[in-house]
Amino acid sequence: MRPAVFFDRDGVLNEDDGYAFEPSKIRWIEGALEAVQAVNQAGYLAFVVTNQSGVARGFYTEHQIRALHEWMAQQLAEAGAFIDEFAYCPHHPEGTIAQYRQICICRKPQPGMINKLAKRHSVDISRSILIGDKQSDLEAAAAAGIRGHMFQGPDLRSFIVPLLTQLQRMP
């Protein structure tokens, strides 16, 4: 079993500009690429867990989310980093697209995305963390049994390296 770092996407890896889905409009958070690289180098799994209610609201499609994640993976690879898996929840109980208008266990603050990734990748929950920028991220982490950390900027690498050092000292 390996520990993992679960990253929220908008507001943690990229600037939260509201319903981001176009690569040309993505602005990486300062130190984001290097933060993922540090997680990789520490031997931790790296995951993205992101609510994407823009699908339920009809702003963009799941195909567009997957294309954005492929682009992000490419950008990370060019920087010598990688995400082991991107997970997203397209649902929202007030969505305008009927098939996505629902309450589900994957939408944070529910822990569904974290739990599925942890099971699929044999994650050591006791040594894993989530980095988020909203209370719902921290609530999802707590519900999944992992520590959540609130990122408020400005530099993700500077934020995560001390956390990785602490985690590596744990028995």
Residue 94 burial class via C-beta count within 10 angstroms: exposed 0-12, middle 13-18, buried 19 and up:
exposed
The tens-digit pLDDT sequence of the chain (171 residues) is: 999 999 999 999 999 988 989 999 999 999 999 999 999 999 999 999 999 999 999 999 999 999 999 999 999 999 999 999 999 999 999 999 999 999 999 999 999 999 999 999 999 999 999 999 999 999 999 999 999 999 999 999 999 999 999 988 877
Has residue 167 been placed in a domain? no
Residues in the chain: 171
Q: Comparing C-alpha atoms, which of 14, 81, 85, 74 is closest to residue 42? A: 81
Confidence (pLDDT) at 50: 98
- How many domains are contained in the chain? 1
Q: Could you tell me if residue 115 is inside a domain? A: yes
Evaluate whether residue 161 is within a structural domain: no
Domain that holds residue 72: 4-154
Separation between Cα atoms, residue 113 and residue 62, nearest integer Å: 16
**Does any domain span residue 159?**
no
Distance of alpha carbon 27 from alpha carbon 15, whole angstroms = 6
CATH number at residue 108: 3.40.50.1000
| Residue 103 belongs to a domain | yes
Question: Which positions are annotated as active-site residues?
Answer: 8, 10
User: Is residue 168 a part of any domain in this protein?
Assistant: no
Determine whether 152 is exposed, middle or buried from the number of CB atoms within 10 Å of its CB (0-12, 13-18, 19+): exposed
Residue 160 domain flag: no
Residue 28 counted as domain residue: yes
Sign of CA dihedral 160, 164, 170, 171: positive
